[in-house]
Amino acid sequence: MDPKTLIDPAAGVFYFLFLAMSLAGVGIFVWRLRGKWLLLRRAAPEDRFNRWGERIRATLVHVVAQARILRDPATGLMHAFIFWGFCVLAIHTASLFLGTWIPGLDFERRLGAAYAWPKDLFIVLVALAVLWAVFRRAVLRPARVESSGEAYLVLGLILLLMLTDMGAEAALHAAGVPTYGFLGAALGSLVAGWSRTGLQALYAGSFWIQAATILCFLNILPGSKHFHVITSLPNVFFRKLEPAGRLRTLNLEDENAESFGVAKAQELDWKVLLDVYSCTECGRCHEHCPTHTTDKPLSPKRMNDHLKEFVYKHEQALTGASTGEVPDLFTAGAVGEDEIWACTTCGFCEDACPLFIEEVQWIVDFRRYKTLTESHFPEELTKAFRGLETNSNPWGIGAHKRAEWAAGLGVPTVGEAESFEWLFFVGCSGSFDERNRKVAQAFARLLQKAGVSFAILGEAEGCCGDAARRTGNEYLFQTLAQANIEIFKEAGVRKIVTACPHGFNTLKHEYPQFGGEFEVWHHSQLLEKLVLEGKLKPSRKLDLDVAFHDSCYLGRYNGIYDAPRNVMAGIAGVKVSELALHHRQGFCCGGGGGRIFMEESLGSRINHRRIEQVRDSGCSTVALACPFCNTMLSDAVKEKELEGVAVRDIAEILLEAVE
């Protein structure tokens, strides 16, 4: 029996009322959506229309399967069930409206039990997920989740949708109409004794409340954080597919450019605006952000909020609907200078974001404007830039001293070697910093013991340019990169190994932007290979309780977690433990993004926070595989006057075991 022949809430004049309500709701939604669409259309261009197969696969994994959300099962399942429930219930929603507008399009009933059972199942799961979300927000109150009346409103609307569907199913079943699923049978008994009028009222009330709730929910979306319901799929689809550690190249030869970098909302590309639209304000990005958790002005979430507020406030002017003047982002306070210079570019925010929002690139673009266009940057960078310009290292030490670390080791330069397989790119820290020179020496001795054919550039080596690029000095970076690439090619370099994750990331992922295609390894990878092949045999037993610290540019940016741990695990007597924050959640040392050359005057010190985590682990040694981390954590040990805590590179520990 067709339920509409028994109880039809949209019959007669009510049909026209329903039609008017629906058209009004959808019309207002489209009107509100139009402004957001025009903002995207008028934004700066960005080419993301490529590699379609990869984009489709990524969307299936991260939107349909909710892969990133499910990294944290406790909250991930809650969000996943709500999302999957909305997908399943989309058929019901379409039938509710289309089946009322055009009789005969109620395909939900046509699908029968094949659809009714999964629909009923997800109604229950979504209702439970919503109750858990309310309990979590109201009672558990996790630190990263901020109180929000809007969140409770939306959760209430979702729960109301589930309850009205239950009410409709109960009324239909009690009236003798087949419902096919299990909810009608389970709940219908509760209203079985109701009169025909009572059942009509229950069904009609459920129908109208549900329709009004859907239209209300639809119109909340464009102006709220829940806009991600619409934008999350395209945002993930158009996500960055290049290596995580590769920044966008700036065309410095553009004669039409009035400035470089980003300072105005009009200079934001459409993907940035889509990112801004898509933020769910879940707080995952700043849960372990080294700047936010040490009381710096920067919170990735709040930067997104401020940009969104600014863009929405000036939507009319930005889309050309009005002639109002739009101030630049810095003048308006949408972006703060202390914010952009606090960032260590550790990448935690991007890796944690379930919707792949790309905040590191935004921050570097803001820095580019300040550095290249205004020449306004932290005073300490003046010395570093000058040193890079004159002697290709941030300290300005003469290039003739670059190979002093290798004195007496018999390490050949590319000019002295008859042939070589590997170029050991030592980097500025390994060449000039006293602490990291010992690491370079240890690694070179290990290569010699393993019989590896290698050479160094010596005086010809220049800075890789990582710090210059990430502090916004793209011109200086490109100059350094092109000089190194030319030297590499002249020397016949094919394979490069370096003990610096920053140099590794730059040489491997960013030099190809300028024609520098080389095979690049991190020293932890090569050491692991040499140990596995038996070319390095750690025969000496060491009594060490080691906590391994993940470098952001080795781990999060390049996915190298196992290699350095495997090197340590292959040494007898070495017990490798994990810090409270490790692997993807590894806590930054505070030295990335050029921060190693800047003073840290706001909040508490990031390297102090990390060394406290090492102390709390109870381990006597923190092992690492990065010169920046080595410097920052060694300094923290001295400054905190921690006794019995040693900071050592994996090459130093392995050399001790081999010898």
**pLDDT tens digits for range 472-529:** 999 999 999 999 999 999 999 999 999 999 999 999 999 999 999 999 999 999 999 9
Could you tell me if residue 176 is inside a domain?
yes
One domain, residues 304 and 187: no
Domain boundary, last residue among 324, 352, 373: 373
**pLDDT tens digits for range 120-173:** 999 999 999 999 999 999 998 888 888 888 999 999 999 999 999 999 999 989
CATH number, residue 196: 1.20.950
Question: What pLDDT does residue 6 have?
Answer: 47
One domain, residues 158 and 209: yes
One domain, residues 77 and 219: yes
One domain, residues 125 and 30: yes
Question: What pLDDT does residue 658 have?
Answer: 93
Could you tell me if residue 247 is inside a domain?
no
Domain boundary, last residue among 347, 373, 399: 373
CATH number, residue 512: 3.40.50
Domain holding 641, by residue range, is: 536-658
User: To the nearest whole percent, how much of the chain has pLDDT over 70?
Assistant: 99
One domain, residues 22 and 89: yes
One domain, residues 73 and 113: yes
Which residues face 646 on adjacent strands?
621
**For residues 188 and 3, what is the distance between their CA atoms, to the nearest angstrom?**
15
Could you tell me if residue 248 is inside a domain?
no
pLDDT under 70 in the chain at which residues?
1-8
**For residues 594 and 608, what is the distance between their CA atoms, to the nearest angstrom?**
18
Domain count, the chain: 4
One domain, residues 414 and 435: yes
Strand ranges across the sheet with 454-455: 454-455, 422-424, 495-498, 519-522
CATH number, residue 269: 1.10.1060
Domain boundary, last residue among 481, 507, 531: 531
Could you tell me if residue 286 is inside a domain?
yes
Could you list the beta-strand ranges (E) of 425-484: 454-455
Question: What pLDDT does residue 7 have?
Answer: 57
Could you tell me if residue 260 is inside a domain?
no
Could you tell me if residue 187 is inside a domain?
yes
Question: What pLDDT does residue 15 have?
Answer: 86
Whole-prediction pTM value? 0.93
Question: What pLDDT does residue 108 have?
Answer: 80
One domain, residues 485 and 596: no
* Structure tokens given for 477: 């970076």
Could you tell me if residue 250 is inside a domain?
no
Contact indicator for 530, 460 with CB cutoff of 8 Å: no
One domain, residues 43 and 151: yes
Question: What pLDDT does residue 558 have?
Answer: 98
Compute and round to an integer the Cα radius of gyration of the chain: 30
One domain, residues 285 and 301: yes
**For residues 123 and 169, what is the distance between their CA atoms, to the nearest angstrom?**
11
One domain, residues 454 and 487: yes
Could you tell me if residue 168 is inside a domain?
yes
Angle at 623 between CA 611 and CA 534, to 5 degrees: 175
One domain, residues 424 and 349: no
Residues 6+ apart with CB under 8 A from 374: none
